[in-house]
Structure 1
């Protein structure tokens, strides 16, 4: 049998397995959602959305929770294959106390799709500038980023350092890294086109036992079933092209150029000791490299710390916010 025929047969089997898995997982997800017993259903915390058009024309979905106190404004930036629902608990806890801006990064959530060539951290940083210019044109800002959202903040600090200390008064970096996450591979340039071509197949296949995979890689060993289920539900909403389009950014990643500028803002770095995607050593390295940064280490917590230790994460944000307010007074 030729290599092409073997690949075709494998793909066909993958599609069939993925189709069955989609049906089964749909039933299981419905059951788990009922069992969560949420006071406020995950995905229902919303406000009227607005669209910010990026400099290259990508429509960005943004939601603003207004408050009587208009400054400082908190700007939330989620991670890879996430969306604004990742801030579920923080949004509920802080609503009405402070003005908050939630951004679906390009190609994520309800935002428009960018091309693969425009799915870079440089574009993400530029998108932050567009959001600030259109929705936070004046007053101090606290930027809060998880994983890739934190990397976008570091990219912004490298390209627009003058914003930090002037407009950006506070920064919270959660479960993120400035580099040395993945090593470059010569085979990458061959693998990515294959994955892009097979994206519809992979969309099905990703649903096969996704809950167990996300529990293993995304959360800590003691994570509540509810939080695993929330992460699983959110991540499965992201199409496979988001994985393939943004993946090359992480190979050879180096965002250290912006770390000194971050020190001009009140910065806290937080990471979990059970994070397998951005191990806590990256948080320690970041905190050591950013002048004056505070480090918070959360024991036995994985990558989705905003779910697993949501009260601790909210407290981190509140501490930075209080310090920024005090500096303003």
Structure 2
């Protein structure tokens, strides 16, 4: 076991070295630029494709983007809520699966404020509750009827819990189940990497970045390009480099104000108050065994408060299990969509 792990680390370090060297090659740099340029074109994967409708909703002056795949007349809709510093594009594999496996169902995705194609906002407007209001505004316009399966990843999981807790009774009664992925019910800073990142020093760095956003964005861009191959080794699962570049493109697409605003809120926000309403719905909880952002202990807290849900630890996956292990997420979707309304 130890020998195998040692061999994997050496192999990974070699991959990092090769990747950093490849940054100097025009072909590699062009591949990264192509993924970034095509991030929201909705024609090429990686990213959402074959959408049936797109649009915007105004939520108290904030322009919120939504995307749909599947028939508008569907009796059942899967509502996807993305993670921190990502966008709806991150669910492209799940949407493609639902489209193929359940053509009678509809997928509705929302870019919460400050992410993807939704409007940027000031850091103080970046909160879990405000993001849930964004989703509720889209649901009010696009889903006036029908059964709903709610899917939330990372920040999106906490937004999903907030939505379930605060939804009007009529909407709550239409929610059949929820799929919570790599997320938390308690403060993100309670466990995992975020516990370290709440230090005074790093908070001071964040504030300095906000004072000089243009310079900070340039530094962030270069750091992200260097970090992608190292991230592959840190997560051990060695996801395809193309997926890592795709992940990096979403990170770089997110405004600095969203990074700082949502980060600050996630350090303190908790959703224990959603416990009562969770008892009325079924669901699944998935977490990667190598997740250092929202480790297994965070999901165990949710499972303890929500005994009707099944907890699954996905071996070898990190925090981005929707990209690293999409089959595991798709299997959970099959269970919940198939059972909805029964």
TM-score range, shorter chain: 0.7 to 0.9
Contact 1:161 1:261 in 2 (8 A): no
Shift of 1:252: 2.2
DSSP-derived class of the 1:208 partner: helix
Structure 2 match to 1:230: 246
Q: Which residues of 2 match residues 1-329 of structure 1 at below 5 A?
A: 28-31=28-31, 41-43=45-47, 45-47=49-51, 48-54=53-59, 56-67=60-71, 70-95=74-99, 96-160=103-167, 162=169, 166-182=173-189, 191-214=205-228, 216-217=230-231, 220-222=235-237, 223-325=239-341, 327=342
Provide the rounded CA distance (Å) in 2 between the counterparts of 1:137 and 1:190: 44
Q: Deviations over 1:82-120 (max 9, x none)?
A: 011101111111123411111111111111122222211
Q: Mind listing any 5+ residue stretches in structure 1 that lack a counterpart? A: 1-22
Contact 2:296 2:313 in 1 (8 A): yes
DSSP-derived class of the 1:206 partner: helix
Provide the rounded CA distance (Å) in 2 between the counterparts of 1:209 and 1:253: 28
Provide the rounded CA distance (Å) in 2 between the counterparts of 1:312 and 1:30: 32
Contact 2:164 2:172 in 1 (8 A): no
Shift of 1:271: 0.4
TM-score normalised by the chain length of structure 1 = 0.82
- How well do the aligned residues superpose, as a CA RMSD in angstroms? 2.8
Tell me: CA distance 1:106–1:269, structure 2 relative to 1, closer, same or farther (3 Å): same
Tell me: CA distance 1:221–1:211, structure 2 relative to 1, closer, same or farther (3 Å): farther
Tell me: CA distance 1:138–1:25, structure 2 relative to 1, closer, same or farther (3 Å): farther
TM-score normalised by the chain length of structure 2 = 0.79
Shift of 1:163: 5.8
Provide the rounded CA distance (Å) in 1 between the counterparts of 2:264 and 2:162: 15
Tell me: CA distance 1:164–1:186, structure 2 relative to 1, closer, same or farther (3 Å): farther
Tell me: CA distance 1:67–1:164, structure 2 relative to 1, closer, same or farther (3 Å): closer
Provide the rounded CA distance (Å) in 2 between the counterparts of 1:25 and 1:159: 51
Count of aligned pairs between the two proteins: 300
Tell me: CA distance 1:250–1:101, structure 2 relative to 1, closer, same or farther (3 Å): same
Contact 1:66 1:100 in 2 (8 A): yes
Q: Mind listing any 5+ residue stretches in structure 2 that lack a counterpart? A: 1-22, 36-42, 190-194
Tell me: CA distance 1:181–1:309, structure 2 relative to 1, closer, same or farther (3 Å): same
Provide the rounded CA distance (Å) in 2 between the counterparts of 1:123 and 1:87: 21
